[in-house]
């Protein structure tokens, strides 16, 4: 087995998303990663604290935009103001990872780079730390991603199928996009199928080499202008780039991929529905976040409210979210239409203020 590198890894936390499916708590200028969703910490702070178990604060960077940088520093003023990789516009994960790799190569040489998202639920942290430490062994052999053993037929996640065992993980045979329910049922019955939580580890030189090989249309406009003399120059370069995920740009094309099985519980905090998997529930499958709650002949409800008491009487499968200026009441079936509803609200001048 290769030796674990003595040099601490660099961590890039992806925190540029809008989080629309968590409206009304998540807004344009303060999206879900800056909100307290399942604990007394913001999702971003949860992720930073997680990262601190594997590296030091000076080697943790946040990938986001200029507006959110200001909001992040308001909520977390002790975070180093220089440790941001700013993108002029959101173009999925491949461009920001390419830009970050160029920056880290110049600053640190060839460090191990760990990419995390700011909107995940992970528990317990000690198992997260242990899994990352194991996965770092594999970065000498290529790019590494973590895999989570499925516990349900989830149609909202991507899947990985593994091949032969390696020192601490497996080779990767194939990636599968979000399946339908029938296909997901087949996947979870196979021992070598895993969820893809989007946690990546690689040497900086490795990811740059693979970008050069598989996605020069993303790397070259950034590499040719790097280091950029102004944010305007970076903006011009970004305009040339496609909006593409690192998964399709690199991971699904490379033959240098390894997977290490996660030993922690993981959930993508993607919508209000995810709270039923994170928050404790009663025997009628009601899940509540707030002060007091009363259920009478009620089942399958999810609530996150600020009132002293919320009472559910004779209703089922409702989602209720309260903010100081907005009350959202939806059915489980309807919650999937939040983005469409927000699109309608943007066209109404009276309602636009509730989006920012």
Q: Is residue 238 part of a domain?
A: yes
Note whether 59 and 200 are same-domain residues. Answer: yes
Domain termination site, one of 232, 248, 267? 267
Coil vs helix vs strand at 295: strand
Residue 23 near residue 342, CB atoms below 8 Å:
yes
Nearest-CA neighbor of 129 among 54, 57, 189, 47? 54
pLDDT confidence of residue 17: 84
Query: Number of structural domains, the chain?
Result: 2
Q: Is residue 1 part of a domain?
A: no
Nearest-CA neighbor of 234 among 67, 88, 85? 88
Show pLDDT as tens, one digit a residue, over the chain (356 residues): 455 556 899 999 999 888 899 999 999 888 999 998 888 899 999 999 999 999 999 999 999 999 999 999 999 999 999 999 999 999 999 999 999 999 999 999 999 999 999 999 999 999 999 999 999 999 999 999 999 999 999 998 999 999 999 989 999 999 998 999 999 999 999 999 999 999 999 999 999 999 999 999 999 999 999 999 999 999 999 999 999 999 999 999 999 999 999 999 999 998 999 999 999 999 999 999 999 999 999 999 999 999 999 999 999 999 999 999 999 999 999 999 999 999 999 999 999 999 99
Range of the structural domain that residue 88 is part of:
10-267
pLDDT confidence of residue 5: 59
Domain termination site, one of 222, 246, 267? 267
Note whether 257 and 277 are same-domain residues. Answer: no
**Residue position matching structure tokens 């998540």:** 26
Angle of CA points 198, 203, 208, to nearest 5°: 85
Q: Retrieve residue 234's tokens.
A: 């970076």
What does DSSP assign to residue 251? I
Q: Retrieve residue 62's tokens.
A: 């946040």
Coil vs helix vs strand at 34: helix
């Amino acid at each position: 087995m290769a030796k674990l590198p003595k040099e601490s890894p660099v961590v890039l936390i992806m925190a540029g998303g809008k989080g629309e499916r968590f409206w009304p708590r998540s807004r344009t200028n303060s999206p879900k990663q800056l909100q307290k969703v399942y604990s007394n910490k913001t999702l971003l702070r949860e992720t930073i604290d997680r990262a601190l178990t594997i590296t030091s604060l000076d080697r943790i960077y946040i990938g986001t935009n200029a507006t959110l940088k200001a909001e992040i520093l308001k909520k977390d003023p002790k975070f180093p103001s220089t440790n941001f990789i700013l993108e002029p516009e959101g173009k999925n994960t491949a461009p920001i990872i390419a830009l970050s790799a160029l920056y880290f190569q110049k600053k640190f040489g060839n460090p191990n780079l760990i990419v995390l998202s700011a909107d995940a639920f992970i528990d317990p942290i000690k198992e997260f730390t242990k899994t990352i430490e194991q996965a770092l062994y594999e970065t000498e052999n290529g790019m590494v991603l973590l895999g989570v053993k499925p516990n349900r037929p989830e149609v909202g996640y991507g899947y990985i199928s593994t091949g032969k065992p390696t020192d601490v993980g497996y080779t990767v045979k194939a990636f599968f996009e979000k399946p339908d329910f029938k296909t997901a049922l087949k996947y979870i019955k196979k021992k070598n199928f895993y969820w893809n939580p989007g946690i990546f580890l690689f040497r900086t030189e490795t990811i740059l080499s693979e970008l050069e090989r598989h996605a020069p249309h993303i790397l070259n406009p950034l590499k040719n202008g790097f280091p950029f003399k102004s944010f305007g120059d970076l903006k011009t370069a970004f305009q040339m780039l496609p909006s593409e995920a690192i998964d399709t740009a690199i991971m699904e094309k490379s033959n240098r991929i390894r997977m290490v099985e996660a030993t922690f519980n993981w959930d993508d905090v993607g919508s209000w529905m995810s709270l039923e998997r994170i928050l404790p529930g009663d025997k009628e499958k009601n899940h509540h976040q707030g002060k007091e709650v009363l259920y009478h002949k009620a089942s399958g409800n999810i609530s996150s409210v600020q009132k002293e008491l919320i009472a559910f009487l004779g209703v089922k499968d409702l989602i209720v979210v309260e903010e100081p200026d907005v009350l959202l009441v939806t059915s489980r079936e309807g919650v999937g239409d939040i983005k469409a509803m927000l699109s309608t609200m943007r066209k109404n001048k009276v309602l636009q203020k509730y989006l920012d």
